[in-house]
Amino acid sequence: MATQLIMPEMGEGVIEGTVARWLKAEGEAVNQYEPVLEIETDKVTTEATAENAGTLLKILVPEGKTVPVGTVLAIIGQPGEALPAGGKSNGTAVTTTPQPVTVTAPPPAPHPPSPSPLQRYTGRISPVVSRIAAENKVDLNVVTGTGRDGRITKKDILAYVETVSRQTSSVIRQPETPSVAPSPARPLTPSSQLIPHTSMRRAIAEHMVRSKHTSPHVTTVFEFDFTAVAAHRAAHKTQFAKDGAKLTLTAYIIAAAVQALKQHPVVNSSWRDDGLVLHRDINIGMATAIDAGLIVPVIKNADSLNLLGLARTINDLANRARNNQLKPDEVQGGTFTLTNHGVSGSLFATPIINQPQCGILGAGKIEKRVKVINDAIAIRPLAYISFTFDHRILDGATADYFVGTIKEIIENWQ
């Protein structure tokens, strides 16, 4: 019996999705649980898989088209089988494996939004739309929604903001000032190649630029001696392996950061114009490099885990991140972030804050270097640990006390 692949629900407030890429062509065989297409929303990129084996008989929604949740995307069945009539789903769906990425908005509308046959704003919006509206002080009642039931989508709010910005610029420009055409993009030469941006790369770019515009970044750097940690790891990594966990140095750094966050709770916070939000939960994001870019799975309630629990969780999240198997809630709710850029050989970095968090810890490569201890030259495993923080929340001394606490824990590990 033919089955229908439908646009699945992919989280609260997500009412539509875009078919990013079909991984199978019409007439091609599909195995059970094999990826069939990629779906994008303003929150996640999803690899959709078929529940039943068969042949992809018909693709109903082309690549690049955005459709509401529940829309039939394709039909899978046996060759020669009659296609089901109608557009409603018969209940068979796709399983999804999301990874966070924000869909890049299309080019802005050429004219300011005005009343149209489309239904107006209904009062229900996604968190992304809410954030953009708040940041740009937009009255949503004047924005025309093109989503289902008049819902305002991300592209609607971005188009409105861009249009208002252009109108404002034209108003403040002096009449006698001649308009200057923007410089054209440098033409491609025979030896150059244009590689289109992926959705994830555009999302990363958007997040990084927004973060730099949102908070004043300041970075402080300490040098850590990992002698005590290295000795502890050498003595316990075999037992941890028997317990199903690979004991990495990342686990030690996160464990120390958690203890420091308890002692300095202001670091586990977020800035708001009306006050500082102190987070009771300690949810540590761990920046993880994947083939498509960067993803930050979150260790929820990290303060409730011992070193073994942290090691297991780190291994699990990192492995599933690299295999696009994370769930939506596993990349949300972080209150503090660690990026271990040392795994790629980097000694020193100034990471960008993962908004709306207070700061991000960067761990450089641990390598043996010469160090003077008690007026004697010694060789120790050392690493530079940087802390980039929001200067609206923390002053230099407060930030240094926080990193100093982590340093003390690491260097006196027992």
Tell me, which fold does domain 3-100 have in CATH? OB fold (Dihydrolipoamide Acetyltransferase, E2P) (2.40.50)
Reported as a single tens digit per residue, the pLDDT across 130-177 is: 778 777 778 787 788 787 667 788 888 888 887 776 655 444 344 443
Pick the closest to residue 75 from 16, 24, 18 (CA basis).
24
Least confident of 74-78, 197-201, 219-223, 341-345: 197-201
Q: pTM of whole model > 0.85?
A: no
Helix (H) or strand (E) holding 37: strand 35-40
State pLDDT tens for residues 280-338: 999 999 999 888 788 899 999 999 999 999 999 999 999 988 887 887 778 889 999 99
Q: Decide if pLDDT at 106 tops 60.
A: no
Give the model's pLDDT for residue 11: 55
pLDDT tier at 218 (50, 70, 90 boundaries)? very high
Summarize pLDDT for 169-213 with one digit per residue, the tens.
444 344 443 444 445 667 888 888 888 887 778 878 888 999 999
pLDDT at 102: 37
Fold entry, domain 105-170: Dihydrolipoamide Transferase (4.10.320)
Catalytic residue, candidates 303, 375, 391, 400: 391
395 has catalytic annotation: yes
Long-range own/partner contacts, residues 204-212 (CB < 8 A, 24 or more apart): 204/293, 204/294, 206/102, 206/104, 207/102, 207/354, 207/355, 208/352, 210/355, 211/352, 211/353, 211/354, 211/355, 212/352
Could you say which of 149, 243, 329, 395 is catalytic?
Answer: 395
pLDDT for position 87: 42
Extract the tokens encoding 3.
């089955």
* pLDDT of 176: 46
pLDDT score at 195: 87
* 348: pLDDT strictly greater than 50: yes
User: What pLDDT, on a 0 to 100 scale, did the predictor assign at position 122?
Assistant: 53
DSSP class of 143: S
How far is residue 223's CA from residue 208's CA, in Å, rounded to a whole number?
A: 26
Provide the pLDDT confidence category of residue 125 given band limits of 50, 70 and 90. Answer: confident
Domain ranges of the chain: 3-100, 105-170, 216-411
Of 112-126, 220-234, 287-301, 336-350, the poorest mean pLDDT is in: 112-126
How large is the average pLDDT for residues 5-31?
81
CATH class, domain 216-411, is alpha beta
Identify the top-confidence range among 41-50, 121-130, 356-365. 356-365
Of 56-70, 111-125, 198-212, least confident by mean pLDDT is 111-125
pLDDT class for 85, splitting at 50, 70, 90? Answer: low
Is 391 a known active-site residue? Answer: yes
What is the tens place of the pLDDT at every residue in 269-278? 999 999 999 9
Structure confidence at residue 332 (pLDDT) = 85
Task: Return the percentage of the chain with pLDDT > 70, whole number.
Answer: 81
Q: Residue 170 burial (CB < 10 Å; 0-12/13-18/19+)?
A: exposed
Which whole number is the average pLDDT over 56-73? 90
| Other Cβ atoms closer than 10 A to 379 | 10
Which pairs count as long-range contacts for 240-244, CB under 8 Å and 24+ apart, including other chains?
240/308, 240/311, 243/308, 243/312, 244/312
pLDDT, residue 179, reads 44
What is the C-alpha separation between 404 and 383, in angstroms, rounded? 14
